[in-house]
């Protein structure tokens, strides 16, 4: 009995129309929070935080690069979790969340790759090196593209969603490889300096803008997710209405 209750409480949020109402209420909050945190993070990062003793002013690229890279992994993990939910419980909403997240995650991955390249040119003296971290993040970018492509490759949208879900779960092997690539291989990319045993090795004045930006990016993702899922639900409703009208 208790199991059924917990199941029904989980299913409450899987109801698309309830999600629509929730999303409509939450989207402006997420937008305000995202703007506030990204604004504060950019201000602290660009004007308050000190320049690095080695990297000089270029260290400020990190305040965009590192949170974007975290988001790239976070969004992919969300897609994989939603895909498992979709494959196991067949929640229609889980498919929509995975579908709506993929372009956002691809965008964050592209931002991480581009800002990393801009930082690498003055610091490493090259736009790109084929080290383990960079290569595995590039693979992540292609996994996102594959996910988007297969989602749209079928005439039947549920077919595309199921295929994309399986691909997302298979591609999840890449996430731990990205995370630990700097420990497993001796690469040019820096090892982890924030989330590590024994505490971060970054000064607080640089951690603050980093976390402000990370929070801002997370709220930005939430806002986009709500918007995109809502528009997807509305688009399907319109399609259903059109089909009903076409075949009386």
Partner 1 sequence: MLAGLAAILRRDLRLALRQTADNGMAVGFFVLTVILFPLGVGPEPAVLARVAPGILWVTALLASMLSLERLFAADYEDGSLDLMALAPLPLSLLVLTKCLAHWLLTGLPMVVLAPLLGLLLNLEPAGYGVLVLAMALGTPALALVGAIGAALTLGARRGGVLLSLLVLPLYIPVLIFGVAAVDAAIYGVGARPHLLLLGGALLAALALCPLASAAALRQALE
Contact residues for partner 1 (CB under 8 A)? 87, 135, 139, 142-143, 145-146, 149-150, 153-155, 159, 162-163, 166-167, 169-171
The CB-of-158 to partner 1 minimum distance in angstroms stands at: 9
C-beta of 116 vs 171, nearer to partner 1: 171
C-beta of 115 vs 174, nearer to partner 1: 174
User: What is d(CA 138, CA 235) in angstroms, rounded to the nearest whole number?
Assistant: 32
The CB-of-138 to partner 1 minimum distance in angstroms stands at: 8
The CB-of-147 to partner 1 minimum distance in angstroms stands at: 9
The CB-of-65 to partner 1 minimum distance in angstroms stands at: 22
C-beta of 26 vs 153, nearer to partner 1: 153
C-beta of 42 vs 145, nearer to partner 1: 145
The CB-of-165 to partner 1 minimum distance in angstroms stands at: 9
C-beta of 170 vs 241, nearer to partner 1: 170
């Amino acid at each position: 009995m208790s199991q059924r209750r917990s199941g029904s409480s989980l299913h409450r949020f899987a109801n698309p129309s309830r999600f629509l109402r929730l999303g409509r209420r939450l989207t402006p909050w997420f937008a305000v929070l995202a703007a506030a945190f990204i604004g504060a993070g950019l201000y602290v990062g660009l004007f308050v935080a000190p320049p690095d003793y080695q990297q000089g002013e270029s260290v400020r690229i990190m305040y965009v690069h590192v949170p974007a890279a975290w988001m790239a992994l976070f969004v992919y993990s969300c897609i994989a979790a939603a895909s498992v939910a979709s494959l196991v419980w067949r929640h229609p909403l889980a498919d929509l969340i995975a579908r709506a997240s993929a372009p956002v995650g691809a965008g964050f991955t592209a931002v991480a790759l581009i800002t990393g390249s801009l930082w690498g040119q003055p610091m490493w003296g090259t736009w790109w090196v084929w080290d383990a971290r960079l290569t595995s993040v590039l693979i992540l970018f292609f996994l996102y593209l594959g996910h988007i492509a297969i989602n749209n490759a079928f005439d039947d949208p549920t077919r595309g969603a199921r295929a994309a879900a399986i691909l997302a779960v298979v591609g999840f092997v890449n996430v731990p490889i990205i995370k630990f690539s700097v420990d497993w291989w001796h690469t040019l990319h820096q090892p982890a300096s924030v989330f590590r045993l024994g505490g971060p090795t970054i000064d607080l004045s640089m951690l603050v803008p980093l976390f402000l930006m990370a929070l801002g990016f997370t709220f930005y993702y939430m806002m986009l997710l709500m918007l995109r899922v809502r528009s997807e639900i509305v688009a399907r409703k319109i399609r259903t209405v059109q089909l009903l009208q076409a075949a009386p």
